[in-house]
Amino acid sequence: MEVRRGIAVAPGVAIGPALVLGSEDFRIPQRFIRADAVEIELTRFQAALKAAVAEITGHEELAVARLGKQYGDIFAAHRQLVQDPKLVKDIEELIRQKCYSPEFASSRVLRKYAKTLQNLGDRYFAERANDLFDLEKRLLRHLLGERREELTQLTAPVLVLAHNLTPSETANLDTQFVLGFATEVGGKSSHTAILAGALELPAVVGVGSFLSDVSGGESIIIDGNQGVVIIDPDDETLRSYRDAAQKMRTAAVKLSSLGPLRSETRDGVAIHIYGNIEFPNEVEHCVERGAEGIGLYRTEFLYLESDTEPTEEIQYDAYIRVIKAFPTGPVVIRTLDLGAEKFPHSMQEVIEATPNPALGLRSLRLTLHNLPMFKTQLRAILRAATLGDVRIMFPLVSSLLELRQAKMILGDVIEDLDDQKVPFNSKVKLGMMVEVPSAALMADEFAREVDFFSIGTNDLIQYTLAVDRANPAVANLYSSADPSILRLVEGVVTAAEKHNLPVSVCGQMSSDPIYIPLLVGMGLRELSVTPQSILEVKQAVRNLTVAQSQEILARAKSLDVARDVENYLRGEMKKLSADLVL
């Protein structure tokens, strides 16, 4: 049994067989063979080995002819490696003695060798380990041939283990069979993490290098509460996790009784809770858990799910589904926030070629550079807005000029619809995300030009602290509790109050119950949270008075280090939930 720690990003426990995603996204479907099939399987292995050697020799000859002998030598080394008598013997022994399938045996042996090289702590040897992974892929390709199983063709439950999953890969996971996932890289507020929550899949990211220990098919536990991945758990661990999962189900049922209850503090102040969604089908959870509307609809996922740009009608239909679930409550539709790590396949090359995509042509900037795309979406929103309390929100606004430009485009679209006599709602409220430090600092000025603010702490933290939200190497520096963040958020709330402007927080900060006293203390009365945390946030609200929240805020503001603020808030949360009132 091997226990690995990472960053917990979506709660719950998943137990099942591993599906390891290599760059070629295939897995080993069968681990064992029948004893009477050993000779046939050995022959199959030798044939695959021969084919791999022939393939490498072909590459070697081509490299020598085109680039010269020193490049051919790279392949010559691969050829020697894959024919190494000790390596071949080790694989054959596992097939013969343990009845491992040739796929499983090859993967096991090559990964064991690679791990030994990686553990030598020398860059040269670590790079040779990559050669072994390359050989593993090559051998598996020949062994599996037509039997390669792709992520899109699952037929049985699996836990997906990968170096990385892009938001678009995550969005396309088949939740009928994928029970959870763990990745070597990734951070707490990455979009991949947010999607895990949206799909309600237990997930751990930022585990660090661990895939070389797993071949596929092993039993795995993903603990999305503690941020733990367990490979080949022993019976006792399995039993205790199964018990814990049962207890969690019981606690969730208890918490669900909060759904129909009001979201108000103990002294009767209403704190409106809305849902953050990425997919229209998430509205069902929001309704069930008692959200009053949708405070953030991340519409870009419609783009990430398909290879072609969604038409106006497709977008309109998606919006209608959401609005129908909340015919009276607000539905805040955020315009496309593509770019950085969220990009459709078709944009991959453009975005990846940018050295600093988080600071580049993303979000509102990207839509302002692609007006047909922007206008199509605005038309769909304005048309859908005839059916409910729809609001438009612009993401990543960083200057007043940019906001004014976007408002002008909105004006043009309204004129077009008017001219074409297409039914639409011209009175749609217009808001903006406050998620760039410049916008937070200029909140007073922005407040005169929009109908509402929604504070996006995920990006606000990333840009204020200069910490990549998706990078596990700096995850310890990424914190909602940083005094600079508290100061910025409070400043935005104060500016909004001054202009009588509705303001909410829709970043992950408001989905974490420990921050609820702080946000209520600052004066926030609207929170938009992930569907998974609606009930917990409501519970935190109902256990609090406004006076208590103000005291907690005052004390938190007297601390000057994020870690102290976080520890203090955790302690207060414990005290408040000790005399829990549902």
Tokens of 257: 């009784």
Give me the least distance between CB of 186 and Mg ion, in Å please.
Answer: 16
Is 458 a residue that touches ligand PEP (CB under 6 A)? yes
Distances (CA, A) of 405 to 55, 368, 442, 449, 457: 56, 8, 17, 12, 24
Residue 193 to residue 180: CA distance in whole angstroms: 12
**Of 255, 220, 210, 217, whose CA–CA distance to 241 is shortest?**
220
Give me the 283-302 binding string for ligand PEP, x by CB under 6 A, dash otherwise.
-------------x-x----
Smallest gap, in angstroms, from Cβ of residue 410 to ligand PEP? 20
Q: Give kind and range of the element (H or E) at residue 39.
A: helix 38-67
Give the binding range for Mg ion (CB under 5 A) out of 268-276, 454-462, 478-486, 566-574: 454-462
Q: Which of 41, 435, 468, 536 binds ligand PEP (CB under 6 A)?
A: 435
Secondary structure (3-state) at 196: helix
Q: Which is nearer to ligand PEP, 102 or 310 (CB)?
A: 310
**506 noted as active-site residue:** yes
Of 21-29, 315-323, 455-463, 513-521, which part binds ligand PEP (CB under 6 A)? 455-463
Q: With contacts defined by CB under 6 A, name the span among 235-243, 374-382, 452-460, 559-567 that binds ligand PEP.
A: 452-460
Q: Which residues contact 556 (CB under 8 A, 6 or more apart)?
A: 481, 486, 518, 565, 568, 569
Interacting span for Mg ion (CB under 5 A) from 87-95, 325-333, 453-461, 474-482: 453-461
By a kind-dependent CB cut-off of 5 to 8 A, residue 298 interacts, out of Mg ion, ligand PEP, none, with ligand PEP
Report d(CA 446, CA 450) in Å as an integer.
Answer: 7
Residue 406 Cβ, how far from ligand PEP at the closest point, in Å?
Answer: 17
Can you tell me which of 217, 310, 339, 507 binds ligand PEP, judged by CB under 6 A? Answer: 507
Distance CA 402, CA 363 (A): 12
Residue 499, phi-psi category: left (phi > 0), alpha (psi -120 to 50), beta (remainder)? alpha
Q: Which of residues 47-106 bind ligand PEP (CB under 6 A)?
A: none
Per this entry, what is the length of the chain?
Answer: 582
Tokens standing for 573?
A: 């949360």
Instruction: Provide CB contacts within 8 A for 251, sequence distance 6+.
Output: none
Residue 516 makes CB contacts below 8 A (sequence gap 6+) with 510, 527, 537, 540, 541, 544, 549
- ∠523-455-415 over CA atoms, to 5°? 115
Mark the segment that binds ligand PEP (CB under 6 A) among 175-183, 405-413, 456-464, 539-547: 456-464
The entry of ligand PEP, Mg ion, none that residue 457 binds, CB within 5 to 8 Å by partner kind = ligand PEP
Considering only 149, 459, 512, 566, the residue that binds Mg ion (CB under 5 A) is: 459
Among residues 458, 449, 294, 461, which one has the least CA distance to residue 381?
294
337 binds ligand PEP (CB under 6 A): yes
Residue with CB nearest Mg ion? 459
Residue 245's identity, in one-letter code, is: A
| Per annotation, catalytic residue among 78, 99, 142, 191 | 191
Residue 506 interacts with ligand PEP (CB under 6 A)? yes
Nearer to ligand PEP, 48 or 171 (CB): 171
Provide, rounded to whole angstroms, the least separation between the CB of residue 276 and ligand PEP: 7
Choose the stretch contacting ligand PEP; rule: CB under 6 A; options: 11-19, 214-222, 454-462, 539-547.
Answer: 454-462
Among 168, 170, 457, 511, binds ligand PEP (CB under 6 A): 457
Least distance CB 397 / Mg ion (angstroms): 11
Strand order in the sheet with 203-205: 2-5, 228-231, 219-223, 13-21, 158-162, 178-183, 203-205, 7-10
Nearer to Mg ion, 211 or 403 (CB): 403
Say if CB 229 and CB 42 are below 8 A apart: no
> What is the chain's alpha carbon radius of gyration, rounded to the nearest angstrom?
27
Of 99, 142, 272, 506, catalytic: 506
Instruction: Select from ligand PEP, Mg ion, none the partner in contact with residue 92, using the beta carbon and a kind-dependent cut-off of 5 to 8 Å.
Output: none
191 is catalytic: yes
User: Which among Mg ion, ligand PEP, none contacts residue 402 (Cβ within 5 to 8 A by kind)?
Assistant: none
**3-class secondary structure, 17:** strand
Q: Which helix (H) or strand (E) holds 219?
A: strand 219-223
Asked if residue 555 lies in contact with residue 564, where contact means CB atoms within 8 angstroms, the answer is no
Report which of 264, 259, 263, 269 is spatially closest to residue 290, judged by C-alpha positions.
Answer: 259
What 3-state DSSP class applies to 294?
strand
Q: Which two tokens stand for residue 106?
A: 């090859």
User: Is residue 456 close enough to count as binding ligand PEP by CB under 6 A?
Assistant: yes
Q: Least Å distance between CB 117 and ligand PEP?
A: 39
Region from 162-170, 255-263, 280-288, 453-461 binding ligand PEP, contact rule CB under 6 A = 453-461
For residue 225, the minimal CB distance to Mg ion (Å) is 25
Strand 526-529 and strand 228-231: pairing? unpaired
User: Of all residues in the chain, what percent are helix, strand and coil, respectively (each to 5)?
Assistant: 55, 15, 30
Between 157 and 357, name the residue whose CB sits nearer to Mg ion: 357
How many residues in the shown chain lie near Mg ion by CB under 5 A? 3
- In whole angstroms, the minimum distance from the beta carbon of 200 to ligand PEP comes to 17
**409-438 footprint of Mg ion as x/- string (CB under 5 A):** --------------------------x---
276 within 8 A of 506, measured Cβ to Cβ: yes
What is the total count of residues that contact ligand PEP (CB under 6 A)?
A: 11
- Give yes or no for a contact between 227 and 202, defined as CB atoms under 8 angstroms apart: no
Nearer to Mg ion, 282 or 337 (CB): 337
Residues 38, 98: Cα–Cα separation, whole Å: 10
Q: 215 or 458: whose CB is closer to ligand PEP?
A: 458
Binding track over 121-160 against ligand PEP, x by CB under 6 A: ----------------------------------------
Residue 434 · residue 524 · CB < 8 Å: no
344 binds, among Mg ion, ligand PEP, none (CB under 5 to 8 A by kind): none
List of residues contacting ligand PEP (CB under 6 A): 194, 296, 298, 337, 435, 456-459, 506-507
Catalytic positions, written as ranges:
191, 506
Contact positions vs Mg ion (CB under 5 A) = 435, 456, 459
